[in-house]
Amino acid sequence: MLVHSVSNCPILPPLPAVAVQPHAKAGETLFWEGEETDCLYHLQSGIVRGVRYTEEGERNIVGFYFAGDRIGVPVGGTYRFTAEAITVVTYATVRLNVLADDIRSGGTARLFETVQTELGADEVHSQLLCRQGALQRMCAFAACLYRRLNGAAIEAIAQVDIADYLALTPETVCRSLKKMRDSGVIAMPRHDRIEVVNPAALTAMSLQ
């Protein structure tokens, strides 16, 4: 299986001293790449994209994050990517010093649960990019999100975002989606809604 799922993790008590925040509107930024890390984010609803920019200004999407995911794990004291709300997002935060105190007092399971989201997303991304053909890459991506979302429709993720995530052009993404739709493995009642109709056939196409 290419995709991690927080639903398979052990159920743990809530993070300590969590503060529920007002929602973030679509397009707003939760935190910036390179910014000093002061807290982690526990997504309650909505979709967030993780974005990095090259020195030349090229945008790379490194992951999509959903309700239940915890993001903002620091590397060298700073955030690893910029977190942008794709939809309206609600979330909770916990300050790193509070989490550190909790870990020292025996809450080590929380640490592993917290880092799993981003490590799992990195693994998924690298495996998807190993797919040779654009159609296979697209099918694997749709199959991953189908499992991650427990069969729910894939909504609100723009084709240009999918292209940046899979290192494809938007035109290639559009053509691949048409082939998938014509093959009967997905339905697209809207340009930003993908419904997996035949998950077994979709998985098979991703392996061809």
10: domain CATH number is: 2.60.120.10
Same domain as 51, residue 152: no
- 133-177 residue pLDDT tens: 999 999 999 999 999 999 999 999 999 999 999 999 999 999 999
Across 5-9, 58-62, 85-89, least confident range: 5-9
Number of residues that make up the chain = 208
Predicted structure pTM score: 0.80
| Parent domain of 41 | 6-121
> Which residues are bridge partners to 53 per DSSP?
59
Whether 98 and 136 map to the same domain: the answer is no
Tell me which of 121, 145, 169 is where a domain ends: 121
- Report the distance separating Cα 191 and Cα 182, nearest Å: 15
Q: What is the pLDDT of residues 73-89, one digit of tens each?
A: 888 889 999 999 999 99
Query: Are 31 and 107 found together in one domain?
Result: yes
The predicted-structure confidence for 150-161, as pLDDT tens digits, reads as follows 999 999 999 999
Give DSSP secondary structure letters for the chain. Answer: -----GGGSPP-PPPTT-EEPPPBPTT-EEE-TTSBP-EEEEEEES-EEEEEE-TT--EEEEEEE-TT-EE--EETTEESSEEEESS-BEEEEEEHHHHHHHHHTT-HHHHHHHHHHHHHHHHHHHHHHT-SSHHHHHHHHHHHHHHHTTT--EES--HHHHHHHHT--HHHHHHHHHHHHHTTSEEEEETTEEEES-HHHHHHHHT-
Q: Which residue has the higher pLDDT, 10 or 127?
A: 127
Residue 189 lies in a domain: yes
- pLDDT(70) > 90: no
Tell whether 94 and 162 lie within a shared domain: no
Mean pLDDT, residues 187-201 taken together: 95
